Amino acid sequence: MSGGGTFAKLPEPPYYAVIFSSRRRAREEDGYDAMAGHLFALVQGQPGFLGAESVRGEGGFGITVAYFESEEAIAAWRRHAEHAPARERGRTEWYEGYEIRVARVERAYGWRRDP
Amino acid sequence: MSGGGTFAKLPEPPYYAVIFSSRRRAREEDGYDAMAGHLFALVQGQPGFLGAESVRGEGGFGITVAYFESEEAIAAWRRHAEHAPARERGRTEWYEGYEIRVARVERAYGWRRDP
C-alpha cells in the first residue's frame, strides 16, 4: 500500500487507524511495488476508507497508516478477495516481519507553513 | 524523534499511540538530527513511554509513531520543559507541515520470518 508521501485529508475524529509497520526483505524487483499500487487503488474504493499515509526508508523499514470510518470498514477490507493472497505473498516473498496495531483516533490536529 | 527503523517491543493493548506525520523542509544540516536524537533519548526516560517507530523517506515525508501507557503520559511528555522549544523550532525551521493523531490501540499482532 502506498500513500505517496503526502498528508491524508481526514474528517474530524473519531475514526480508526490501522498502523502497519514492516521490514522489507532486501530484494530488487519482485512484484511488490505493483501489488502495493494495486492494493492502494482497491482500498480507495472500499466503503469507509478515509485515507492513508505511507513512507519507507532506505533501510527497508516502512510505516503505513490507513484510516477508516469504523471497525466494520476495517474488517470488510480485511475480507476483500484480493487482500488475502496479497498478505500471503507478503509473508512468503516480501517481508522480514510486520506489526499491525488497530487504534481508535480520539483527536487530531495539524499545522502547515504559510506559503 | 527517531526509532532507528526497528520494531517497538510493546505490551499487550490497550495503550496509546501518537501518530506524527511530517514533511521536512528541503534543507541540509540544520540541527534537526541532533534535536531528534536528543528528544528520543529524553522520551525514553519519560514515565509511561512504551516505545516508538520512525521512518523518513527520500522525499522528506516521515511518520513517527510513539506509544504511551496512557493519555496522562502523553500529556506529561507534551509538558516536558525541552519539548516546547523543540516544537517551536519545528515550526520556524524544520517542517513544511505536520499532522498529529492521538489514538487508543485496541489490538495488535505481528509476524516474523523464521530465521
**Is the CB of A96 less than 8 angstroms away from the CB of B113?**
yes
Of the CA atoms within 13 Å of residue B106, those in its CB half-sphere come to 12
Residue B1 has pLDDT above 50, yes or no: no
Quick one: pLDDT at residue A2?
A: 42
Is the pLDDT assigned to residue A31 strictly greater than 70? yes
- Distance, in Å, from the CA atom of A112 to the CA atom of B3, rounded to the nearest integer, reads 24
Quick check: B73 pLDDT over 60?
yes
Distance, in Å, from the CA atom of B51 to the CA atom of B55, rounded to the nearest integer, reads 14
B3-43 pLDDT tens trace: 458 999 999 999 999 999 999 998 767 899 999 999 999 99
**Interface contact A110-B103, CB threshold 8 A:** no
Nearest to A89 by CA among A55, A47, A17, A38: A38
Q: For position B2, what pLDDT does the model report?
A: 42
With beta carbons less than 8 A apart as the criterion, state whether A35 and B49 touch.
no
Would you say residue A1 has pLDDT above 70? no
- pLDDT at residue A3, as a whole number: 42
Q: What is the C-alpha to C-alpha distance for residues A74 and B47, in angstroms, rounded to an integer?
A: 32
* Sequential DSSP letters for A26-68: S-SSSSHHHHHHHHHHHHHTSTTEEEEEEEE-TTSEEEEEEEE
What is the ipTM metric for this complex? 0.93
pLDDT at B58 over 90: no
Question: Chain B residues with CB inside 8 Å of A65's CB?
Answer: 19, 21, 63, 65
What is the pLDDT at residue B70? 98
B112 and A96 Cβ atoms separated by less than 8 Å = yes
Contact A99, B108 (CB under 8 A): yes
Give the gap in angstroms from C-alpha A45 to the nearest C-alpha of chain B: 23
d(CA B17, CA A108): 12
Helix (H) or strand (E) holding A72: helix A71-78
Mean pLDDT (whole number) for A48-56: 96
For residue A81, what is the DSSP state? T
Question: How sure is the predictor about B115, in pLDDT bands with cuts at 50, 70 and 90?
Answer: confident
Closest CA to B55 of B105, B7, B103: B7
User: What per-residue confidence (pLDDT) applies to B78?
Assistant: 94
Assess whether pLDDT exceeds 90 at residue A67. Answer: yes
Contacts of A113 in chain B (CB under 8 A): 25, 91, 95-97
pLDDT of residue B102: 98
Cβ atoms within 10 Å of A13's Cβ, excluding its own:
17
Q: Residue B67: what residue type?
A: Y
> What average pLDDT score do residues B79-107 get?
95
Locus of grid cell 540541527: B31
Residues A101, B13: C-beta atoms closer than 8 Å = yes
